[in-house]
Structure 1
Amino acid sequence: MKVQIICIGKTAFSYLDEGIDLYEKRLKHYLPFEWIIVPEIKKAKNWSADQIKQAEGQALVKIIPSDSVITLLDVKGKTFTSEEFASFLNTRMISGVKTLSFIIGGAYGFSPEIYAKAQFKISLSKMTFSHQLVRVVFSEQLYRAMTILRSEPYHH
């Protein structure tokens, strides 16, 4: 199974890039993994949140592979413990999913079109994190899940 994280825009801080790079290198030892960065919408300073979500949604639809199982990282999603998330991944792996796409929305979340395409929604916490910080936190949780599935000591 290939895992991809699709997100809107580049990160703004080098410390986030360092964290992302660290977990990307680690994850590649366990499974095919890639980041897909959708460019931010340009000239949208005077747009409403709904207009931005709609434009980002249209850009995401063009990027998401047609054979992908789509999971949104969303405040309205289901929360998991790390072990439960590892089990979620394992279930997708053994069921023959070819590509599992995790999507991190922009600052305003997702358009209705993207919600309609998603098979799953996951929340990392009841707290709100910046969409850029979520990249590092979720990368680490993916890595942690893989170590749990392999019974490696990282989780402890």
Structure 2
Amino acid sequence: MRVHICAVGRLRAGPERDLIDDYSTRFDRTGRALGLGPLSVHEVEDKKGGGMSAEAQLLERILPKNCVICCMDERGTVMTSPDFARRIGDWRDDGCSDLAFVIGGADGIDPSLRARADFKLSFGKMVWPHMLARVMLSEQMYRAASILSGSPYHRA
């Protein structure tokens, strides 16, 4: 199952990019034997200032056909890491070939795209900058693959 992080905004070189690259590599390495990966990041940028609806149109263009859409949203479901790993495993086992996590811009995800989501995930009631949300999501993807593989990375 290919995993996509589809995000509004461009991430420059720096510590956040380095962390995402590191966790993506770890996820790809761990997930390969589990039928997970690769993990790729797709970025869009609304240069015309069209707001959430324009961002949603750009995001729609990069979503793989027939993918499971998971929107990152503070109103979404808060999960433990083991529950998240089980959810990833269930999507994989149900035959999902592409899983797309959507991270919106400063104003969030347009309601029309959010309504299309198969699942909404929250990292808690706090709102996180898109660059940190990407890092946290990539780490949780690696953690999920580690949990599914029985690795000791996650200490429960």
Q: Same fold (TM over 0.5)?
A: yes
Distance in 2 (alpha carbons) for counterparts of 1:153 and 1:38: 32
Structure-to-structure mapping, 1:12-31, within 5 angstroms = 12=12, 14-29=14-29, 30=31, 31=36
Distance in 1 (alpha carbons) for counterparts of 2:119 and 2:89: 15
1:144 aligns with 2:143: yes
Runs (5+) with no aligned partner, structure 2: none
| 1:125 match | 124
| 1:4 match | 4
**TM-score (norm. length: structure 2):** 0.90
Q: Secondary structure at the match of 1:28?
A: helix
**Per-residue CA distance 1:50-98 (angstroms, 9 max, x = gap):** x410110011111112210100011110000001101111111111111
Distance in 1 (alpha carbons) for counterparts of 2:125 and 2:3: 24
TM-superposed CA distance for 1:3, in Å, is 1.1
Distance in 2 (alpha carbons) for counterparts of 1:16 and 1:10: 12
Distance in 1 (alpha carbons) for counterparts of 2:12 and 2:98: 28
Aligned residues, how many?
A: 150
Distance in 1 (alpha carbons) for counterparts of 2:90 and 2:126: 27
**TM-score (norm. length: structure 1):** 0.90
TM-superposed CA distance for 1:126, in Å, is 1.7
1:73 aligns with 2:78: no
Q: Secondary structure at the match of 1:41?
A: coil
Q: 1:99 to 1:24 in 2, by over 3 A?
A: same
Distance in 2 (alpha carbons) for counterparts of 1:6 and 1:109: 13
**What is the identity percentage for the equivalent residue pairs of Structure 1 and Structure 2?**
38
RMSD: 1.3
1:9–1:37 Cα contact (<8 Å) kept: no
Distance in 1 (alpha carbons) for counterparts of 2:90 and 2:42: 26
Runs (5+) with no aligned partner, structure 1: 45-50
1:105–1:131 Cα contact (<8 Å) kept: yes
